[in-house]
Amino acid sequence: MRPRLSLWSVGLWLLAALLVLFVAGPLVRLLLQASPASLAAALSDREVGAAIWLTVLTASAATLLGLGLGVPLAYLLARGRFPGRRIVAGIVELPVVVPHPVAGIALLLFLGRQSVLGGGLARLGLEVVNHVPGIIAGMLFVSVPLVVSAAREAFRAIDPKLERVARTLGDSGWAAFRRVTLPLAGRGVLAGAVLGWARSVSEFGAIVILTYNPKVASVLIYDRFTLFGLPAAVPAAVLLLLLALAVFLVVQLLAPEPVRR
Amino acid sequence: MISLRGVGVRVGGFALEDITLEVPAGGYGLVIGPTGSGKTTLLEAIAGHMPLSAGRIALRERDVTTAAPEQRQVGIVYQQYHLFPHLSVGENIGYGIRKEGAGSREQRVRELAALLRLTPLLERGTVGLSGGEQQRVALARALAPRPGILLLDEPFAAVDPATRRELRKELRALHEREGTTTLQVTHDFEDAMRLGDVVAVLADGRIAQAGAPEQVFRYPKSRFVAEFIGTGTILRGSVERTGSVDPATGRFAAVFHADGLSLEVVAEREGGAYAVLRPADLILSKSEAEGPAPRNRFLATITRIERESAIAHVTLNLGKTELLATVMSSTAEELGLRTGATVGVAIKATAVHLI
C-alpha cells in the first residue's frame, strides 16, 4: 500500500514546481514567439550576424585571457601559503557582487583615455573604450571569478604529494604541473572556462557603458528593443538564447561526475 | 650516503629540530616514531619539498641543502603510494625516465616489472589495484631512474600482515640488488629489526636516540625510547619444535635456544629467529620458586638498577646474556632489589615474541 500523501510533501512539490515554471516559462515562451521565418530573417540580418560573431569572438578572447591569467592565480590560491592569500581570493570574487553597470563605470574610469592606463594604452595604439578591447575588458572583469574559482577548486582537489612525487622523479615545477596537475585538473578548469565564456556572452551592463559600438548581441537586442519595440528584438534574442543553451549543454557534459559518499 | 647535520624544519606550529643522522652509502636507515612525530616531514625535507630553517643536508657527498627536488636524484614512496591516476601502471613506472631513449626506457620498465611481479599489470590503469600491487608500482616508479637514494614513508602501513612480510622480504632483496641507500620511516620496530642498519627514534620533532638497531633496542637511553620501542632484550637463537602443530593457528610449542638460555615458547616456524623480551613481561621474585607459575624460570644476577620516578629499569646477568626488566619502584622496594643480588626471573611462554 502506498503511503498517503501528506500536506508537507504536496506543498514541497508544489513550491518546487512553481519555481521551475517561473524559470522555464519565459524561456519557452520566448522560443515559441519566434517564427521560423523570423529566425531565418534574423540569421540573414547582417547586423545580427555580425553582433553574434563579435560576441563569440570577444567572449573567446576574454576566456583565453581569463585562463592565461586566472589559472596561475588559481594555482597560487590553491597551493601557495602567502600572507594576504584570503584577501587576494576575496578581491577576485568581488565582481560577483558589483552591479554590472557599476563595474562598467569603474572600468571606464580605469581604462578611459583620461586615465593613466587608458591614456598610455591609447598612445601605444590600443584604444579600449568604445572599441573591441573595451568589450573584452568588461567580459573579463565579470567572468574572472567563475574561471578562477573553478580552477582553484580543481587544483585543490589534487593531492600536492602527486606533484612532489613528480618532482623527485626529475620534473621541474612547470613539468610536474604540465604532466600531472593539469591533466588531472583539466576537466574542472575547462568547465570553469566554458562557464566564464557563457558569462561573457551574456554580459550587458558593463559592456553597454564601455563600448556601445561595435555592438555585441546583448547590446544589439537592447538597441532594437528601445528603437523598434519587442518584435524587432525577439529573433536576435532567440538566437542568443539558443547559443546560451548550447553552451549550457556543454557545461553539463563537462561537469565532474558527482562524488559518491 | 644520506647525511643530515642539525636539520630544522618548521611547518605551521610543528618543528623538526636539530636532526643529525647518517645513513652510509648502500645502507638501510630507519626512523621510528609515533604518529605525528614528524617522520613524513623529515623525508620531505630530504627530498627537497620543505625548506630548512637550520642545518645542512648532503646526499652522495654533495650538499643539496638548497637544491630543487628534481636535482637531488631521490626516489620517494609515500604511505598512500600516490600513483598517477591518469597514467597506466607502465607509464607510472616509466614516468621518471622519459628522457632516456624509448628502447632503454621500455627495458628498464620491463626489468622492474619482472622484479616486482607487475608484468601482467603494465597496460592496466591504477584504479582497482590491491594495496600490495600499488605499493610495488610505487616502488618500481621510484627506482626506475636509479635514484641512488630511496625514501620510504611507512611503506607497509596500508597492507595486510601477510603482504607486509612478503614486501619486506622483497624490499630487502631489492635493496641488495639495486644497492640503493634507503631511509624508511615506520612506527613498526619489526621493520627496524629486519631491515635497518641504522635506527633513529624520533619523538616530538627530535631524535631521541640513534644507532645500530640492536644497540638502540638493548640500551634505550630514555624512558620514551624504552616505552615506545617496548622491546627491551633481543636474543638471537633458534627455534626447536617440541609439540604438535595446532591446525587452527599453525602454531606449536617449542624451545628457543639462545646463548646460555633456553626458553619455552609458542612458535610459528622453526630455525633461526630473534626472541624479543619486553621488560615489563619479566616477572622478578626473591627466588626461583616464588611467584605465579609461568613456564620459564631461572635465576639471574642484578648488574644495574636505574630508577625513574615510578619505575625501575633492572639489568640482569645470566652469564652469557643480559636481560632488561622494568618493575614498579614499589615492587623494587618490596623485593629489596640491589646491584649484585640474585633474583628469580619468570616469563610466560606466550610473552616471548619471536620475529
DSSP of B46-96: HHTSS--SEEEEEETTEE-TT--GGGS-EEEE-TT----TTSBHHHHHTGG
Q: Select the more confidently predicted residue: B156 or A91.
A: A91
B192 pLDDT band (50/70/90 cuts)? confident
Identify all chain A residues contacting B141, using CB atoms and an 8 Å cutoff.
165, 169
With an 8 Å Cβ cutoff, are B142 and A167 in contact?
no
Digit-coded pLDDT (tens) for B118-138? 999 999 999 889 888 998 999
**pLDDT, position B286:** 80
3-state secondary structure of B150: strand
* Mean pLDDT across chain A: 89
**pLDDT, position B295:** 74
Q: How far apart are CA A181 and CA A105, in angstroms?
A: 38
* Mean pLDDT across chain B: 85
Q: How far apart are CA B57 and CA B66, in angstroms?
A: 9
**pLDDT, position B19:** 92
Rounded to the nearest 10 degrees, the angle between the axes of helix A230-254 and helix A182-202 is: 170
Residue A251: partners with Cβ closer than 8 Å, 6 or more residues away? A191, A194, A195, A198
Mean pLDDT, residues B179-196: 80
With a cut of 50, say whether residue A260 has pLDDT above it: no
Q: How far apart are CA B104 and CA B217, in angstroms?
A: 44
CB B24 within 8 A of CB B179: no
The residues spanned by each domain of chain B are: 2-229, 233-349
With a cut of 80, say whether residue B165 has pLDDT above it: no
**Does residue A261 lie in a domain region?**
no
**Does residue A128 lie in a domain region?**
yes
In the structure grid, which three cell numbers stand for residue B234, read together?
Answer: 633481543
Task: Kindly state whether B44 is in contact with chain A, defined as any CB-CB distance less than 8 angstroms.
Answer: yes
Mean pLDDT, residues A3-12: 84
- What would the CATH number be for the domain defined by B2-229? 3.40.50.300
With a cut of 80, say whether residue B163 has pLDDT above it: no
Q: Select the more confidently predicted residue: A166 or B190.
A: A166
**Does residue A20 lie in a domain region?**
no
Rounded to the nearest 10 degrees, the angle between the axes of helix A46-79 and helix A230-254 is: 40
Report how far apart, in Å, the C-alpha atoms of B211 and of each of A27, B74, B207 are: 76, 23, 11
With a cut of 60, say whether residue B210 has pLDDT above it: yes
Residue to test with chain A: of B43, B59, B86, most A Cβ within 10 A? B86
A182 pLDDT band (50/70/90 cuts)? very high
What was the ipTM of the complex prediction? 0.77
Task: Kindly state whether A47 is in contact with chain B, defined as any CB-CB distance less than 8 angstroms.
Answer: no
**pLDDT, position A1:** 59
Task: Look at phi and psi of residue A2 and say left if phi exceeds 0, alpha if psi is from -120 to 50, else beta.
Answer: beta
CA atoms within 13 A on the CB side of B217: 29
Identify all chain A residues contacting B150, using CB atoms and an 8 Å cutoff.
none
CATH at A138: 1.10.3720.10
CB B116 within 8 A of CB B140: yes
Q: How far apart are CA B79 and CA B83, in angstroms?
A: 11
CB B59 within 8 A of CB B1: yes
In this structure, of B113-122, B191-200, B242-251, B328-337, the range with the lowest mean pLDDT score is B191-200
Identify all chain A residues contacting B48, using CB atoms and an 8 Å cutoff.
167-168
**Does residue A63 lie in a domain region?**
yes
Amino acid occupying residue B116: L
In the structure grid, which three cell numbers stand for residue A102, read together?
Answer: 557599476
CB B22 within 8 A of CB B197: no
Report the CATH fold assignment for B233-349: OB fold (Dihydrolipoamide Acetyltransferase, E2P) (2.40.50)
With an 8 Å Cβ cutoff, are A165 and B44 in contact?
no
Q: What are phi and psi of B269, to 5 degrees?
A: -150, 160
With an 8 Å Cβ cutoff, are B84 and A159 in contact?
no
Instruction: Tell me which residue range forms the domain holding A96.
Output: 38-254
- In this complex, which of A161, A170, A179 lies closest to B70 when CB atoms are compared? A170
In this structure, of A14-23, A102-111, B332-341, the range with the lowest mean pLDDT score is B332-341
| Tally of domains within chain A | 1
In the structure grid, which three cell numbers stand for residue B256, read together?
Answer: 628457543
Q: List the Cα angle A42/A252/A137 in 5-degree steps.
A: 60
**pLDDT, position B97:** 93
Q: CB neighbours (10 Å) of residue A155? A: 23
**Does residue A124 lie in a domain region?**
yes
**pLDDT, position B35:** 74
Q: Select the more confidently predicted residue: B176 or A62.
A: A62
Min Cα–Cα distance to chain B from A54, Å: 38
**pLDDT, position A261:** 35
With an 8 Å Cβ cutoff, are B142 and A169 in contact?
yes
Alpha helices (H) along chain B: 39-47, 89-93, 102-115, 131-143, 161-178, 189-195, 213-218, 223-229, 329-335
- In this complex, which of A161, A171, A179 lies closest to B70 when CB atoms are compared? A171
Closest CA to B25 of B140, B211, B175, B214: B175
**pLDDT, position B223:** 63
With an 8 Å Cβ cutoff, are B95 and A184 in contact?
no
3-state secondary structure of B185: strand
Beta strands in chain A (DSSP E): none
Q: Select the more confidently predicted residue: A98 or B281.
A: A98
In this complex, how many residue pairs, one in chain A and one in chain B, have their CB atoms less than 8 Å apart? 58
Helix (H), strand (E) counts: chain B: 9, 20
With a cut of 50, say whether residue A111 has pLDDT above it: yes
B289 pLDDT band (50/70/90 cuts)? low
